[in-house]
């Protein structure tokens, strides 16, 4: 999958924030300065800054510029449908994926409080490490009639890249539920957590543009590694 100009710039700026070249509480160079620095258009720079604000890296302040926020935790956008590989590339997380299981199973009978129609599925369980430390366990069920198989190589790289660019599936939207729960023994051990520790669990149902269900996902996040961000606009009802 090719990397766009704005993703390259966003990744570079994120790394500079991570390594304190741009320290928390300081301002990034102005839009004009960034345009000259990266040899690109102002429109591209604005797209970069919008993405970085949505990911919780900066806060744009009118009349002052882009304030660098404290990157003590990595920010996951709640509303978006972003793959872990895309976040890794954008945030410079120094992440790696370890495949724990690639098999075939049936859908769970209930999910997110709903009864789920029986489906044969490709089952993936993956551990995400950041800077060598366990951070996330992702569990995915993909409908087998839409996704006949996933190779181990694809599972360790990016399944969304494979689904969209190889299988030509048009992933459109997801519904999500986020809870904080006690980690079971297996998850706690995988994430190097103490017994009875809490994890942040994000459950998602992912749909194609024709509204058909494609995927069920359960992501177990160490609460000390991530924060979850969203953008809300006031609407009068």
Q: Element (H or E) spanning 230, and its range?
A: none
Q: Decide if 151 contacts 190 (C-beta within 8 A).
A: no
- pLDDT (0 to 100) of residue 58: 84
- pLDDT (0 to 100) of residue 64: 86
Mean pLDDT by 10 residues, the chain (237 residues): 78 86 92 94 92 79 84 58 63 79 96 92 94 90 96 92 93 91 92 88 93 95 71 55
Sheet holding 120-130, edge to edge: 95-106, 120-130, 133-143, 213-221, 198-208, 171-182
Sequence length of the chain is 237
| Spatial separation of the C-alpha atoms in residues 106 and 120, rounded to whole Å | 5
- pLDDT (0 to 100) of residue 32: 94
List Cβ neighbours of 36 (8 Å cut-off, separation of 6 or more).
none
Question: CATH top-level class for 84-225?
Answer: alpha beta
pTM of the shown model: 0.68
CA distances from 136 to 13, 24, 62, 103, 226 (A): 24, 25, 36, 20, 9
Q: Decide which of 3.40.50.720, 1.10.10.10, 3.40.50.2020, 2.60.40.10 is the CATH code for 5-68.
A: 1.10.10.10
- pLDDT (0 to 100) of residue 127: 95
Q: 201, 205, 231, 232: which is closest to 216 by C-alpha?
A: 205
Indicate the domain borders of the chain: 5-68, 84-225
- pLDDT (0 to 100) of residue 49: 92
- pLDDT (0 to 100) of residue 15: 84
- pLDDT (0 to 100) of residue 48: 92
């Amino acid at each position: 999958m090719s990397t766009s100009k704005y993703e390259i710039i966003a990744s570079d700026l994120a790394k500079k924030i991570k390594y304190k070249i741009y320290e928390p509480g300081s301002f990034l160079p102005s839009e004009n300065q960034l345009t000259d620095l990266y040899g690109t258009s102002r429109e591209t720079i604005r797209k970069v800054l919008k993405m970085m604000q949505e990911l919780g890296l900066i806060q744009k302040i009118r009349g002052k510029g882009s304030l660098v926020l404290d990157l003590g935790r990595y920010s996951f956008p709640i509303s978006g449908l972003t793959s872990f590989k895309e976040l890794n590339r954008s945030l410079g997380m120094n992440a790696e994926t370890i495949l724990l299981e690639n098999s075939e199973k049936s859908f769970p009978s209930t999910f997110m409080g709903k009864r789920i129609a029986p489906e044969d599925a490709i089952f993936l369980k993956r551990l995400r490490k950041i800077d060598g430390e366990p951070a996330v366990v992702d569990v995915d069920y993909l409908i087998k009639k839409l996704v006949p198989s996933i190779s181990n190589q694809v599972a360790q790289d990016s399944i969304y890249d494979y689904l969209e660019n190889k299988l030509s599936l048009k992933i459109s939207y997801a519904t999500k539920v986020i809870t904080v729960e006690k980690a079971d023994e297996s998850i706690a051990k995988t994430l190097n957590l103490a017994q009875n520790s809490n994890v942040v669990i994000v459950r998602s149902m992912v749909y194609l543009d024709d509204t058909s269900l494609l995927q069920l996902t359960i992501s177990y996040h160490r609460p000390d590694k991530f924060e979850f961000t969203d953008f809300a606009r006031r609407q009068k009802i």
